[in-house]
Amino acid sequence: MSARSLLYEGKAKIIYTTDDPEVLLAHFKDDATAYNAQKRGSIIGKGEINCTISKVLFQQLENHQIQTHFIDCPAANEMRVRALQILPIEVVVRNIAAGSLCQQTGLSLGTVLKQPLVEFYYKNDQLGDPLLTRDRLLLMELATPKQVEQLQQTALRINTYLSNFFQTCGITLVDFKLEFGLDSQQQLLLADEISPDTCRLWNSSDTDPNSRVMDKDRFRRDLGNVENAYQQVLERVLAQTAASG
């Protein structure tokens, strides 16, 4: 049994150190929060589902030359990852208008964007994760100009891959949030998770604004059937991965 000690407990995961200083263990929790943790609850089975979906997507991105922090999963709700210095930036990619984009611009929910939009938010719960301009990001030295360019290009490549993959699952990738970090060689790697907690996913064959939702908006908006929706995403992702070999 390897020694592990608590490094950090977040809203959705607990991070432990391991015997190897370059490796961390992420334990995915069933806890769910929304609106900057003002709404709290639990989604039964979410930890295992999100860990498994993230594992499959990280493996596929690695196969497409996108470096991630993923190492392996010693249990269904546990992931060993490379220890990174996380950039305090949430990189959001949007294909269809939803959420804060609609609230802040007046665009109607469901407007298909002419091209994907990449946005940077300051990962800071006390400030409510505000939207950053590129100049503010550089002013605050959250990343170098070269890293900003790399974040933008990598996020777009991830979007191309994930949009196509989810489409084959009958799911529309509306928007999603990514986190990146630097390893000991200052390489930029994709970190954190990719799951129904961090993506907006709509059932492609359904146009009803409520029943099509397969992601955390079911929890945020009290739409019910949250567990079923997460389970459906997992099943479709696993079936498609098995089918594509």
Determine if 29 is a binding residue for ligand UDP (CB under 6 A): no
Shortest Å, Cβ 2 to ligand ADP: 17
Rounded Cα distance between 199 and 150, Å, is: 21
Q: Which of 69, 177, 212, 216 binds ligand ADP (CB under 6 A)?
A: 69
The answer to whether 48 and 19 have CB atoms below 8 angstroms apart is: no
Binding to ligand ADP by CB under 6 A, coded x per residue (else -) over 187-226, reads ----xx----------------------------------
- What are φ and ψ of residue 97, in 5° steps? -70, 130
Residues 77-106 that bind ligand ADP (CB under 6 A): 81-84, 86
Residues 119-178 that bind ligand ADP (CB under 6 A): none
Rounded Cα distance between 19 and 187, Å, is: 22
Rounded Cα distance between 70 and 37, Å, is: 26
Q: Which of 12, 175, 202, 230 binds ligand UDP (CB under 6 A)?
A: 175
Interface region with ligand ADP, contact rule CB under 6 A, candidates 10-18, 56-64, 92-100, 226-234: 10-18
Q: Is 113 helix (H, G, I), strand (E, B) or coil?
A: strand
Shortest Å, Cβ 11 to ligand UDP: 9
121-151 b/e (C-beta count within 10 Å ≥ 16 → b): bbbeeeeebeebeeeebeeeebbeeebbeeb
Shortest Å, Cβ 109 to ligand UDP: 11
Binding to ligand UDP by CB under 6 A, coded x per residue (else -) over 95-124, reads ---xxxx-----------------------
Determine if 177 is a binding residue for ligand UDP (CB under 6 A): yes
Interface region with ligand ADP, contact rule CB under 6 A, candidates 5-13, 49-57, 109-117, 168-176: 5-13
Distances (CA, A) of 8 to 5, 13, 44, 127: 9, 9, 22, 20
DSSP H helical ranges for the chain: 46-63, 99-105, 134-139, 145-168, 217-220, 226-243
Residues binding ligand ADP (CB under 6 A): 8, 10-13, 15, 24, 69, 81-84, 86, 179, 181, 191-192
